Structure 1
């Protein structure tokens, strides 16, 4: 249900509060909204991808690949919503055309992709950023299948062709830590958070690290994501702290701004130069943590307008969602049903959060609205108790004196533009609105042929029984239509504009009428002709009286 924003109390806070509904189909593991929030894609445990129409909460499309039966690890929409990139546990990347439901391409990597993101600057992207399980992030060309590994450290020993991040375990063995990475708003740069607690700013076209921002504490970065407007960057580290950084680079000319920063730092080289440039790229804005329980965070993200930060508890068996405002205050803790939380997504334009549970159910959290009825008009006033009201002298006049003195400066000859569509400020950066896919057409499922045959057979039997089971008298009405008085006793007036429905007489009435019109010559006749004569009398009456109003005359 959509509410009028003008009657909502502004002091309530624009964040979700209760579970409004839940979606259940198979076992869903990861979720993602399209850019407008009209469609919700969910990756299932059996390798299929379900697309929900978020307005009707019905299934709009199912993308199923016969070659893939492994769990889906991530889903990403293209900017225009025409394509979906799906990564699976069988090391595959699949690109789908949403409208036709056909697979465009499928690539099998050497490592399992934990996350895959399409390039955000193209309507039909063929470049994606992939974060595998046990090697560094890579740029994948979906047209050719070529892969390019990105650097995840500025140290010399990790600048090889496959710069994986290795951590020493307590037993002396070497483990691999996945590296989180994401595109900037327009896809000019890649921001990667490594296991050393560093944010690297990488020009993905040449693979060079252009800046580095060290994170206090030096913990492993598990998640890194930009806000929708590109002004803030969120990181989730292993020290159980979510950090928000403000982006200081211009959104559309980031590479040029980095070149200028490098020219201004010619007096230093190496890592110190990258740190100096990094301090001009990102600055720490806020930190979020639960200082009491010290929980780890899962799938943190921004709200659509960037005013709220949300994170799910990674504690085993808990389905808790924490919501902070951008100032750092914890404003709400949402506690869901049993089952651990595994993925989160905030609606792009509405205060709605969608969470995926370990049991495969998707929960929709929405705001519990309370209407402010005093906001219907600016002169409305809410009263604590009844007050005596004294009306004005002309308040109930047809034309009050106060209205007579008003002068409206309206140019009645001015042409009104009803063609131009005003740009939505939420999507003001969209230059591809005409290509954007917002809804999927509903396709009705055809009936099974066996069910159609049974339906036609039952219909024909019903028609035959109506035609042969009882005497039917048909008469052409004033409008030229044939009327069946036995199945639908309806009579038209002479003008054909009004219809009177005849009541079917009861058995008691029939017996009384039979006694009144009974004659010795007709006493031995059967009931069938008698009912026929009554029908004839009913059909022959020209004054439109009901059949149970026949008189002795």
Structure 2
């Protein structure tokens, strides 16, 4: 890149791969509104929901009769629903909490992209972008579909639908479209290099914004706050437009703008309204390699623009600021990148590779334990300190310490909840689904019995009982009666053949060693065996009641009776 690079310490953006998630072959990802859950669509037709805090699987949504690859996943505004589009032309709406299907419909062509209406907590309308077809507004409850116009005819007032035949190779296989922040308008990018602003209720074009170069638009995305619109074109340039329409009642503002231009008509009027609705803000490109871009988008706060390389065998991510400077270049494994998402709150980026792995990119935090106070400075090497001339002069205090301006008698409000700037449009009366209960799966008892049995078998085969040293085995542990009782019991398991692991023996503490030395120094009195023990034949075995084990009396030394 020939653009200047900003110091990475100035921004909050990811730097290294922190972790990766693995579950089947994942194809697409999407965060919920708060970023606490991550949904991933797999090639076997299942939708896996990860708890992003613990990085564990919270739920898996799958229909037994549904095994086609997932092409896109989308959360509802408050996280209660998930919309899944698949390669077998189906759209499925899932209830996240119960894991049940709410609705299902089949389209004429496979949808490559589908988004729920953002203005409802339990939406039934969605925007689907089928392959080589104009976008559709689909009512999931009734199955009714409405075809949106993808271009404006040369006549001016009429609307036309693009040809459904396969277009040239340099064009995108879909006509991208997205809702605005509140869902009253649809922004569509067509193969003629135009952005259409459509009233989806009437399927009518309200404004047209021509894109420089008239290149095919492959992606179109809104920022989280709805102030910026991003397009990715086939000319390898990412363009960011500033949305001049209000986030609320944007359709009403468009109608008023159109009524004020009665002197114009047809396409000219639509373009005049469009130029006042969207203003080109910035262009992003790699002027050196001229690569194509994959899955571009914004950060959660809209301060950064992100784009992935569409080259095969490359897992590269570019991060720019809104001024157009490249601030970070991330390079991953030699795997193609197919999807990308920025965390809604934290500086974390999640990418999907062609192999089906999900990589989590996070900031590289360096711990500094030497900075004990804010005015302390850490030195990498010794430096000669030069003191100031008046550093140790005694100066009388001429200024009194300013009294605190905080009113100690003021009442503190601990009841009122302030809205977060990131979620300023949240409805506090609406309950939001942020987490899912996790159910831990304990290990099967068969595996535990197998590991214990193999360990005991190995000990018995390699640690045979020696009559001279009185080594015995108790529950897989070797016991030596010639030494002290504490030293004789070894609580560290022997070599585990089944797991291939070797555990180290614990070293006795100093206190234990001192107690053992005292026992050795004390005189030991020999005790005469009892009559019952003396009456037994010598070839019988003596039972040690403490350990429940037996050794041969013929081969036990006199030290055993001490």
1:484 alignment partner in structure 2:
none
1:280 alignment partner in structure 2:
276
Q: Contact conserved, 2:8 with 2:327, CA < 8 A, in 1?
A: no
Distance 2:437 2:151 in 1: 47
2:460 alignment partner in structure 1:
none
- TM-score with structure 2 setting the length: 0.75
Q: Which secondary structure does the structure 1 equivalent of 2:251 belong to?
A: helix
Q: Contact conserved, 1:80 with 1:432, CA < 8 A, in 2?
A: no
Distance 1:433 1:103 in 2: 25
Distance 1:530 1:287 in 2: 86
Q: Tell me the CA shift for residue 156 of structure 1.
A: 6.3
Q: Which secondary structure does the structure 2 equivalent of 1:201 belong to?
A: strand
1:490 alignment partner in structure 2:
none
Distance 1:301 1:258 in 2: 25
Q: Which secondary structure does the structure 2 equivalent of 1:191 belong to?
A: strand
Q: Contact conserved, 1:158 with 1:164, CA < 8 A, in 2?
A: no
Q: Tell me the CA shift for residue 218 of structure 1.
A: 0.9
1:97 alignment partner in structure 2:
95
2:45 alignment partner in structure 1:
47
2:553 alignment partner in structure 1:
none
User: Which is further off, 437-446 or 515-524?
Assistant: 515-524
Q: Tell me the CA shift for residue 209 of structure 1.
A: 0.4
Q: Tell me the CA shift for residue 180 of structure 1.
A: 0.4
Q: Which secondary structure does the structure 2 equivalent of 1:236 belong to?
A: strand
Q: Which secondary structure does the structure 2 equivalent of 1:276 belong to?
A: helix
Q: Tell me the CA shift for residue 417 of structure 1.
A: 2.8
Matched, 1:299 2:295: yes
Matched, 1:516 2:514: no
User: Which is further off, 230-239 or 384-393?
Assistant: 384-393
- CA separation of 1:231/1:375 partners in 2, compared to 1, >3 Å: closer, same or farther? farther
Kindly report which structure 2 residues correspond to 1:247-262, keeping only aligned pairs within 5 A, or say none.
247-262=243-258
2:185 alignment partner in structure 1:
189
1:209 alignment partner in structure 2:
205
Distance 1:184 1:387 in 2: 60
1:480 alignment partner in structure 2:
none
Q: Would you tell me which structure has more helix in proportion to its own residues?
A: 1
* Residues 271-307 of structure 1: CA deviation (Å, up to 9, x unaligned): 0000000011001111111111111111100111111
Kindly report which structure 2 residues correspond to 1:44-443, keeping only aligned pairs within 5 A, or say none.
44-155=42-153, 163-165=161-163, 177-370=173-366, 379-380=375-376, 385=383, 387=385, 405=401, 407-408=403-404, 411-432=407-428, 434-443=430-439
Find the partner of 1:21 among 19, 23, 34. Answer: 19
- CA separation of 1:17/1:214 partners in 2, compared to 1, >3 Å: closer, same or farther? same
Q: Which secondary structure does the structure 1 equivalent of 2:534 belong to?
A: coil
Q: Contact conserved, 1:308 with 1:324, CA < 8 A, in 2?
A: yes
- TM-score with structure 1 setting the length: 0.76
Q: Tell me the CA shift for residue 56 of structure 1.
A: 1.1
- CA separation of 1:300/1:530 partners in 2, compared to 1, >3 Å: closer, same or farther? closer
Q: Tell me the CA shift for residue 134 of structure 1.
A: 2.4
Q: Which secondary structure does the structure 2 equivalent of 1:259 belong to?
A: helix
User: What's the C-alpha RMSD, in Å, of the aligned pairs?
Assistant: 4.2
